[in-house]
Chains A and B, each alone.
Chain A
Amino acid sequence: MDESRVAAYARAVAIVAGATAVCWLMFPVAELTDLVLVYLLGTVLIAASDGRGPSIFASLASVAAFDFFFVPPYLAFDVAHPRYLLTFAVMLIVALVISGLTVRIRRQAEAAEQRERRTAALYAMSRELAQGATVDDLIAIAARHLGEVFTADVTIFLPAAGDRLEPRRRGASTISDNELALAHAAFELRQATGLGTRTSPGAAATYLPLLGHRGVLGVVGIEPPGRRALEAPEPFRLLETLVNQTALALERARLAEEAQQARVGAETERLRNSLLTSVSHDLRTPLAAITGAATTMLEGGGRLDAGTRQELLEAIRDEAERLNRLVQNLLEMTRLESGALTLRRDWHPVEEVVGAALGRAAKRLASRRVTVTIPPDLPLVAIDDVLIEQVLVNLLDNAVKYAAPEGAIRLMATASERAVTVEVTNQGPTLPPGEEERVFEKFHRVVADGRQGAGLGLAICRGIVEAHGGRIWAQNLPEGGVAFLFTLPLAEASLAPLPADA
């Protein structure tokens, strides 16, 4: 018998003794029936606080004490008159019935309270689990809640490569081979093992499988502070419920991950298809032109006049350059997408990068009117000059491609407190509504009108500008034409001052 039960019986003895003392005081002035009521009150108190056993004991003790002290002959268990036997019987029955009812009410209250606690714990955990997105989040949430509710050390095992279980969320204690074997057993048998179960009840912790609809997702190991803490059915049921919740949340996360992967797969497939279509078309066109020009010269031989030969040779050169730009863009896009792009930032005057870009695009810009406006006091920007030059070249290419033949191309840079904005505008047709955003999408072309380009240039621009922490956008000009703008944030770090020069 444990201490709490001993204490309960001791309390029962004390209350009966107390009732006897009260009766002793009342005895000279009260009826015997009043004394019976005092004893009944004591029994009810015991029933309400200590349960069935002590209350039965108190009932019997009350009848005995009543008989001993207050029923003639006094201070003896003998009964002088048989009618007292009836009094005893009624007193005992009433005491037992009252204590039985009281105990039942108390149990119901306790059960309700436990249900409340369980619901609260479940609710708290479910709510957090619903917010966790990744498996790691969910494991952390589950481990924390289980640890708090049971004041226990929680380890969560998930299957790793090669059918091995791996402790993913480790409690304070280290995991012995034996514990790991129990976790494996729970995983394979799909039932609880370890402390308090049929499999190896002597272990320090209990292992419960995380059962999903499609199989076991993992194992929760829980090591309570006392060996008996999980013995009662109520906490064990709560543990099972919480573990089930965790399993469901994990399964949901896993399904979401799979769906996401499927979506990404489908998207990749779609992109690959449009890449193939676009690239094979865009590669073939210049190749056809080159092949055609070269074979004409080979086979036409001396019949071609000098002007025609010159024209064919220029076509070969121009188409080869176009191919080169396309390959360059494809490479750049691949680098951007694979995350292999590392910015090599340094301080640059915008003017210098613009100059380099205009130099590289010079041949294509030769037939265009290009105006450049850059204030001389523009601050330096921390950029990767090779990449920003690429952005400018792509924007200039784009302007040449879509501008009206006589339309001017304008390049401007302005500075605000927080960023330098560079703007490339061309006169000509405007973008159809809704296209201002879409032009930056990969392989997107405003009109499939046979104009050259894989629809990569602007997507690359966006990738590079965003990698610099800037923003790029397009807007139609009221007078016709399109402006492409991008920002380059000005870093907060300041430059070392230049040494004196005089």
Chain B
Amino acid sequence: MPDPAVVLIEDEPQIRRFLRATLTAEGYRLFEATTGAAGLIEVGSRQPDVVIVDLGLPDMDGLEVIRRIRAWTAVPIVVLSARGQERDKVTALDGGADDYVSKPFGAGELLARIRVALRHAAGVARADGEAFKVGGLEVDLLRRQVHVEGVEVRLTPIEYRLLSTLVRHAGKVVTHQQLLREVWGPTHTDQSHYARVYMAHLRHKLEAEPARPRYLLTEPGVGYRLTAE
């Protein structure tokens, strides 16, 4: 299997320089585009494994780029955005992006996002055969069992649905909208406090210190992320 290909759509040369060094050192094949239009052509011709899109492009809204990519391919998209633009991030994620990193970000953070995105893209065909494990948390989706440090934890149906949704997206951010849709169904997407209340219940059952969670992380203004590695 060849090295995974990454299309980077980013207009800032400094960021491109930094990502070029990082990504090629990690063995990715990198294709760069400085505009949304050029990026769309690159995505079409290179058939990449991951696309990285900056939300602030000179020629076209990053959100539009995501929409157009999503019109014909399920390739994972990781968004680069600034802190304080939570709304844009949510729009991008609900509009089809898989994950995001806030500028300024460390190389480790971006590489982790790319790894998770690649894993999920590869795992679409894979059966949920094996249990999900991170730290002392173990979730067996097949047998519907949850263990913390080897001790089985009893969850209510909603708590379990919430946790299993996060496990299916492990490592990826999940917006409130996505959670509500997947756990409560499409009619409850305006009741985001449901998710928060049950997330608090889950934390009290799964985390040693619910106010300093290890597994069930909050991304304020965006959603939740289950630690995956």
Residues of A that sit less than 8 Å from B by CB: 317, 320-321, 324, 328, 331-332, 344, 346-349, 351-356, 358-359, 372, 374, 376, 380, 384-386, 389, 411, 495-496, 498-499, 501-502
Min CB–CB distance A287 → chain B (angstroms): 14
Known interface pairs A495-B193, A501-B157; 18 further A-B residue pairs with C-beta atoms within 8 A, sorted by A's residue number: A328-B84, A349-B200, A351-B203, A354-B211, A355-B203, A355-B210, A355-B211, A355-B213, A356-B219, A358-B211, A358-B212, A359-B217, A359-B218, A372-B209, A374-B211, A376-B204, A380-B193, A501-B159
Residues of A within 8 A of B150 (CB): none
Q: Is the CB of A385 within 8 A of B199?
A: no
Which of these, B156, B158, B196, contacts A352 with CB under 8 Å? Answer: B196
22 pairs across A/B with beta carbons < 8 Å?
A: A328-B84, A332-B84, A344-B221, A347-B196, A349-B200, A351-B211, A354-B211, A355-B210, A355-B212, A355-B217, A356-B217, A358-B211, A359-B217, A372-B212, A376-B204, A376-B210, A385-B218, A386-B221, A495-B193, A499-B188, A501-B157, A501-B198
A498-B220 in contact given A320-B104, A351-B211 (Cβ < 8 Å): no
Min CB–CB distance A76 → chain B (angstroms): 110
Q: Is the CB of A502 within 8 A of B157?
A: yes
Min CB–CB distance A302 → chain B (angstroms): 20
Nearest 8 interchain pairs by C-beta: A347-B193, A386-B221, A501-B158, A356-B218, A372-B211, A385-B220, A389-B220, A349-B200
Residues of A within 8 A of B156 (CB): 501-502
- Is B24 an interface residue, CB under 8 A from the partner? no
Residues of B within 8 A of A411 (CB): 211
Residues of B within 8 A of A348 (CB): 193, 196
Residues of B within 8 A of A347 (CB): 192-193, 196
Min CB–CB distance A420 → chain B (angstroms): 14
Q: Could you say which interface size class chain B belongs to? A: 20 to 34
Min CB–CB distance B103 → chain A (angstroms): 9
Q: Is the CB of A349 within 8 A of B196?
A: yes
Min CB–CB distance A494 → chain B (angstroms): 12
Which of these, B194, B209, B219, contacts A499 with CB under 8 Å? Answer: B194
Q: Is the CB of B211 within 8 A of A324?
A: no
Binary CB contact string for chain B from 182 to 199 against chain A (1 if under 8 A, 0 otherwise): 001000100111101111
Query: Which residue of chain A lies nearest to B210 when distances are taken between CB atoms in the complex?
Result: A351
Q: Is the CB of B197 within 8 A of A356?
A: no
- Is B129 an interface residue, CB under 8 A from the partner? no
Query: Which residue of chain A lies nearest to B198 when distances are taken between CB atoms in the complex?
Result: A501
- Is B17 an interface residue, CB under 8 A from the partner? no
Min CB–CB distance A425 → chain B (angstroms): 16
Most buried by B among A344, A380, A385, A501: A501
Q: Is the CB of B86 within 8 A of A386?
A: yes
- Is B106 an interface residue, CB under 8 A from the partner? yes
Query: Which residue of chain A lies nearest to B188 when distances are taken between CB atoms in the complex?
Result: A499
Complex CA–CA separation, A387 to B191 (angstroms): 20
Complex CA–CA separation, A354 to B221 (angstroms): 14
Residues of B within 8 A of A496 (CB): 191
Most buried by A among B159, B194, B212: B212
Complex CA–CA separation, A385 to B196 (angstroms): 12
Min CB–CB distance A364 → chain B (angstroms): 14
Min CB–CB distance A360 → chain B (angstroms): 9
Residues of B within 8 A of A355 (CB): 203, 210-213, 217-218
Min CB–CB distance B48 → chain A (angstroms): 29
Query: Which residue of chain B lies nearest to A413 when distances are taken between CB atoms in the complex?
Result: B211
Residues of B within 8 A of A359 (CB): 212-213, 217-218
- Is B83 an interface residue, CB under 8 A from the partner? yes
Q: Is the CB of A349 within 8 A of B191?
A: no
Q: Is the CB of A498 within 8 A of B204?
A: no
Within 8 A of A (CB), among B3-57: none
Most buried by B among A347, A355, A385: A355
Min CB–CB distance B182 → chain A (angstroms): 15
Complex CA–CA separation, A346 to B199 (angstroms): 15
Residues of B within 8 A of A321 (CB): 104
Most buried by B among A349, A380, A498: A349
Residues of B within 8 A of A498 (CB): 194, 197
Min CB–CB distance A377 → chain B (angstroms): 11
Min CB–CB distance B105 → chain A (angstroms): 10
A353-B204 in contact given A328-B84, A346-B192 (Cβ < 8 Å): no
Residues of B within 8 A of A376 (CB): 204, 210
Complex CA–CA separation, A324 to B156 (angstroms): 42
Residues of A within 8 A of B211 (CB): 351, 354-355, 358, 372, 374, 411
Q: Is the CB of B157 within 8 A of A317?
A: no
Residues of B within 8 A of A384 (CB): 221
Residues of A within 8 A of B188 (CB): 499
Residues of B within 8 A of A389 (CB): 220
Residues of A within 8 A of B104 (CB): 320-321, 324
Residues of A within 8 A of B218 (CB): 352-353, 355-356, 359, 385
Min CB–CB distance B14 → chain A (angstroms): 13
Complex CA–CA separation, A320 to B14 (angstroms): 15
Complex CA–CA separation, A346 to B67 (angstroms): 28
Complex CA–CA separation, A411 to B209 (angstroms): 13
Residues of A within 8 A of B221 (CB): 344, 384-386
Query: Which residue of chain B lies nearest to A350 when distances are taken between CB atoms in the complex?
Result: B211
Residues of A within 8 A of B220 (CB): 353, 356, 385-386, 389
Complex CA–CA separation, A53 to B84 (angstroms): 88
Query: Which residue of chain B lies nearest to A328 when distances are taken between CB atoms in the complex?
Result: B83
Q: Is the CB of B212 within 8 A of A346?
A: no
Query: Which residue of chain A lies nearest to B207 when distances are taken between CB atoms in the complex?
Result: A355
Residues of B within 8 A of A349 (CB): 196-197, 200
Q: Is the CB of A317 within 8 A of B106?
A: yes
Complex CA–CA separation, A354 to B213 (angstroms): 10
Complex CA–CA separation, A8 to B13 (angstroms): 101
Complex CA–CA separation, A329 to B225 (angstroms): 26
Query: Which residue of chain A lies nearest to B219 when distances are taken between CB atoms in the complex?
Result: A356
Min CB–CB distance A476 → chain B (angstroms): 26
Complex CA–CA separation, A267 to B192 (angstroms): 43
Min CB–CB distance B165 → chain A (angstroms): 15
Binary CB contact string for chain B from 160 to 189 against chain A (1 if under 8 A, 0 otherwise): 000000000000000000000000100010
Min CB–CB distance A17 → chain B (angstroms): 93
Complex CA–CA separation, A359 to B215 (angstroms): 11
Complex CA–CA separation, A376 to B217 (angstroms): 18
Residues of B within 8 A of A356 (CB): 217-220
Complex CA–CA separation, A177 to B83 (angstroms): 57
A351-B200 in contact given A356-B218, A498-B194, A499-B194 (Cβ < 8 Å): yes
